[in-house]
A = this chain, B = another copy of it.
Amino acid sequence: MPVFLNTQAADFDADFTALLSAKREDSPDVDEVVAGIIHDVRTRGDAAVIELTAKFDRLELTPDTLRFSEGEIAALVAQVSDAERAALELAAERIRAYHAKQLPEDMLWEEETGAQLGWRWTPVSAAGLYVPGGLASYPSSVLMNAIPAKVAGVERLAIVVPTPDGVANPLVLLAAQLAGVDEIYRIGGAQAVAALAYGTESIPPVDKITGPGNAFVAAAKRRVFGKVGIDMIAGPSEILVIADQHANPDWIALDLLSQAEHDESAQSILITDSQAMADAVVAAVEKHLETLERRAIAGASWQDYGAVVLVEDLDQAAALSNRVAPEHLELCVEDPDALAAKITHAGAIFLGGWTPEAIGDYIGGPNHVLPTARSARFSSGLSVMDFVKRTTLAKMTPAALQAIGPAAETLAISESLEAHGLSVRARLDALNE
9-residue interface stretch from A9-17, A157-165, A182-190, A374-382: A374-382
Question: Is A283 close to B, CB under 8 A?
Answer: no
Q: Are B381 and A423 closer than 8 Å at their CB atoms?
A: no
Q: Which residues of B contact A405 (CB under 8 A)?
A: 359
A43 CB, min distance to chain B CBs, angstroms: 14
A394 with B423: CB separation less than 8 A? no
Contact of A351 among B107, B140, B393, B421 (CB under 8 A): B393
C-alpha spacing A365/B91, complex, angstroms: 42
The answer to whether A408 and B358 have CB atoms under 8 Å apart is yes
Contact across chains for A140 and B415 when beta carbons are under 8 A apart:
yes
Asked if A398 lies at the interface with its beta carbon under 8 angstroms from chain B, I say yes
Does B395 lie within 8 Å of A355, measured CB to CB?
yes
Q: Across the interface, do B363 and A397 meet the contact criterion of CB distance under 8 Å?
A: no
* Interface segment out of the listed A58-66, A67-75, A255-263, A310-318: A255-263
Judge if A432 is at the interface, Cβ distance under 8 Å. no
Q: Check if A394 sits within 8 Å of B351, measured CB to CB.
A: yes
Measured CB to CB, the closest approach of chain B to A301, in angstroms, equals 11
Cβ of A193 within 8 Å of any chain B Cβ, yes or no, is no
Contacts of A83 in B (CB 8 A): 410
Query: B364 touching A117 by the CB < 8 A rule?
Result: yes
* Chain A residues within 8 Å of chain B by Cβ, number: 121
Residues of chain B within 8 A (CB-CB) of A406 are: 87
Q: B257, A344: Cβ atoms under 8 Å?
A: no
Q: In the complex, what residues of B have CB within 8 A of residue A208's CB?
A: 378
Whether A84 contacts B414 by the Cβ 8 Å rule is: yes
Chain B residues closer than 8 Å to A350, beta-carbon distance: 394-395
A329 closest partner in B (C-beta)? B391
Closest to A361 in B: B420
Besides the contacts A354-B395, A359-B405, what 9 more A-B pairs have beta carbons closer than 8 Å? A87-B408, A90-B407, A91-B411, A117-B364, A117-B365, A258-B417, A348-B394, A361-B420, A379-B389
